[in-house]
Amino acid sequence: MADPALLAMYVHMHWAYNYPYAARTWSIDDWRGYARGLSSLGYNAVMIWPMNETMPDPLTPSDKAFLDKIRDVIRMLHDDVGFTVWICLGPNTVGNDRAAEFTFENRPFFQTDLRLNPGDPKDVDEIMRRRRALFDYIREADGISIIDSDPGGYIGSTNAEFAALLCRYMEVFGEYNPAGTVYYWMHVGWESYNKWWEAAEQAGEFPPFHWEKKNWYEVVSALNESGLRNWGLFGGNDLHIEVAEELHASDRTLYYPYGVVEGEPTFPLTNYSPDVIAHYLASYDRSRTHLGAMANAQSHVAQLPNTYIFAHIAQGGTIDTADLAAFARGLIPEIGDTIAEGCKSLWPGDDTAKMREIAGELAARDDDRFSAGPHSDLLLGGANRFVSDLTMQLRFRAASVDVIKALSEEADVTDKLKTLVPAWSQWQARTGFNDAYGDAQGLLPALKKLGDPATDAVLRDFDDWRDPSVRHGIVTRLLDALSKRMAAMQQRGPLCS
C-alpha cells in the first residue's frame, strides 16, 4: 500500500501587516489553532517561510525571539498535531545593512534584502554561514525547500551554479538534521528568472516570464548525478512533472500549484474560486507526484473558503460534492449559511446589491456570542473578528465593482469614489496591508481612467520593478491621492472619466 498522501499548506510571511492576517504575528496558540483547523479538513503538513533572508548579522533580539518561537512551533506541530513541517528558504538572499533598523515583525523585505552571487565561492560561504544561524533553530524540521526564483536570483547566474548551491544546502542542513530532506521548489526556473529580472531592471516594467523546460531538467539532472540522496521536488505545472518523470524522480515529487488558493502578493480579499482549484487539481495524480499536494496562502484567515475547497478536491471530492455552507457552519454554526453566501458573492462575484444585503445581515450579528464548530480553530482572533471582516470586505468589494463599472462606461464616478475610499480605507486599516500587489479584481487599472496626475504617479510605482523598495507603503499613498482627488471634486463638481 502506498504511503498516505501529504496535504500541506504553505504559511507565507513576506509581507508585514496586522494580526491575525500576517502569519508573522501569530502566537504559539494561534499556530496550534490554525493547524488543528487545517487538520479538521485533512491537512497534515505545513511549510513555513520564516523570512530569514532579511535577518541581519548578528541577529537582533526580535529575530532571536521569532526563531525561538519557530522552533517551538515545529515541536508543537510534530507533537500536538502530528504534522510534517518544512521550512522554506530563498537560495541566495541575506539581510543587508539596513535590516537591523527594523524589528522582525515590521521589517519590509525589499528594503532589507541583499542577493549574493552563487558563482562566487566566497559569497556561497557567506550564504551558508548565515544559514547555519537559522539551522540551529530549525534542525528539528523534516526538511527545507529552496525556490529557483523570487526571493532569490542573481543576474547572470547559471543553472549549474544553482544546482551546486542546492547540493551545498544538502550537505550543510544534513549536518544539523541527517534525516532531513532538501526540496528543490521548481517555479520559474533559475536562468529564466535571472533573465526576467535583468529585463525588468532595464525596462522598468513587468515583462512576461519565459518557461523553459531545460532550466528544471538541468538542475534535476545535476541532483541525480550528485550522489546525494536527501532531496525531493516540488512541482506545480505539467513541465515540472514531466521533468520529474523523465528523470525518474516521481517518487520524490509533491504537486504544488502555487497561487490557486490565493495569489501573492495580493491585497487581502476572501476568494471563492472552486473552478480554478478544480482546474489545477485535475493535474494532481499520485502516480506522477507520489508525495501529495500543497496549497499556499498569504492572508490565511481570509482564505478559509478556498482552503476548504483545495482540501476537498485534493482528497478526491468534486465541485458538485463540495458543501461550502456545511463548512461555514463548522466555523460559526449560527450563521454558517449567511457566511457561505457572503463568501460566494464576494470575489469574483459582482452582484453589489447582494453583497450589501449580506453585509447588512452580518453587521446586525457583529456583537453576538457564537458557539464553536468543528472548524472554529481556523478563526484566529475569534468569530466576531471574522464576521466583522467579512462585512468590511463585502462593502469594499461592492464599492470597487461600482467604480470599475462606472469608469468602464465613462460615467460620473463622484459618488462612487466617495463610497469606495472610506470602505477601502477601513479595510486597509484593519489589515494593515500596505505594499504593492497583483490586482486580480481590476480596480487599479480602472483607476488609471480617472486621469488624476497624483493617482497616476502612485499607480506607475505599482508597475515599476526596477526598485521594488519604492512600492513599500504604496496602498496608503494611493488612498491619500484618492482622498485629495475627492476633496478637489467637491469643489469642482461631478467627475467623469
Distance CA 161, CA 485 (A): 51
Q: Does 473 reside within a domain? A: yes
Among candidate residues 283, 301, 322, the one where a domain is terminated: 322
Q: Determine phi and psi for 127, rounding to 5 degrees.
A: -55, -50
For the chain, give the mean pLDDT.
Answer: 95
313 shares a domain with 335: no
Q: Are residues 348 and 291 in the same domain?
A: no
CATH number of domain containing 37: 3.20.20.80
Whether 442 contacts 397, CB under 8 Å: no
Pick from 322, 351, 379: which residue ends a domain? 322
Per-residue confidence (pLDDT) for residue 492, from 0 to 100: 66
Domain count, the chain: 2
The residue among 303, 209, 293, 241 whose CA lies nearest residue 21 is 303
Q: Are residues 316 and 343 in the same domain?
A: no
Q: Assess whether 106 and 153 both reside in one domain.
A: yes
Residue for cell digits 471582516?
389
* Tens-digit pLDDT profile for residues 447-458: 999 999 999 999
Place of cell 505545472: 237
Same domain? 393 vs 486: yes
Percentage, residues of the chain above pLDDT 90: 90
Residues 6+ apart with CB under 8 A from 441: 269, 347, 348, 397, 400, 404
- Classify residue 497: in a domain, yes or no: no
Cβ neighbours of residue 54 closer than 8 Å, sequence gap 6 or more: 93, 95, 96, 99, 107, 109, 112, 113
Same domain, 165 and 139: yes
Is residue 497 pLDDT above 70, yes or no?
A: no
Res 494 pLDDT > 80 = no
Tell me, yes or no, whether 224 and 336 share the same domain.
no
Domain limits for position 253: 6-322
The pLDDT score that the predictor gives to residue 468 is: 81
469: pLDDT strictly greater than 70: yes
In a domain, 207, yes or no: yes
Three-state DSSP class for 32? Answer: helix
What is the rounded distance in angstroms from the CA atom of residue 190 to the CA atom of residue 156? 10
Look up residue 67 and give its three cell numbers. Answer: 526563531
Q: What is the DSSP annotation of 327-372?
A: HHHHH-GGGHHHHHHHHHHHSS---HHHHHHHHHHHHTTTT-----
One domain, residues 186 and 335? no
Higher pLDDT among residues 493 and 289, named by residue: 289
Look at residue 1 and tell me whether its pLDDT is greater than 50. Answer: no
Q: What is the pLDDT of residue 121?
A: 98
1 lies in a domain? no
One domain for residues 336 and 317: no
165/181 Cα distance (integer angstroms): 15
Instruction: Please check the confidence at residue 253 and state whether its pLDDT lies above 80.
Output: yes
Clarify whether residues 34 and 180 are in a common domain.
yes
Three-state secondary structure call for residue 151 = coil
What the block records as the C-alpha cell of 100 is 537591523
Would the pLDDT of 204 be above 80?
Answer: no
Partners of 76 in the β-ladder: none
Q: Is 371 helix (H, G, I), strand (E, B) or coil?
A: coil
Q: Is residue 285 part of a domain?
A: yes
Q: What is the pLDDT of residue 466?
A: 77
Q: Name the phi and psi angles at 85, rounded to 5.
A: -130, 125
In a domain, 474, yes or no: yes
Ranking 265-269, 308-312, 489-493 by mean pLDDT, the lowest is 489-493
What's the whole-number mean pLDDT along residues 257-273? 96
Does residue 164 register a pLDDT over 90?
yes
Q: How confident is the model at residue 465 (pLDDT cuts 50, 70, 90)?
A: confident
Instruction: Provide the greatest CA pair distance for the chain.
Output: 74
Domain termination residue (choose one: 307, 322, 337): 322
Whether residues 72 and 185 fall in one domain = yes
Tell me, yes or no, whether 63 lies in a domain: yes
Is 408 a domain residue?
Answer: yes
Q: In this structure, are 45 and 70 located in the same domain? A: yes
pLDDT value at position 2? 59
What is the model's pLDDT at position 487?
81
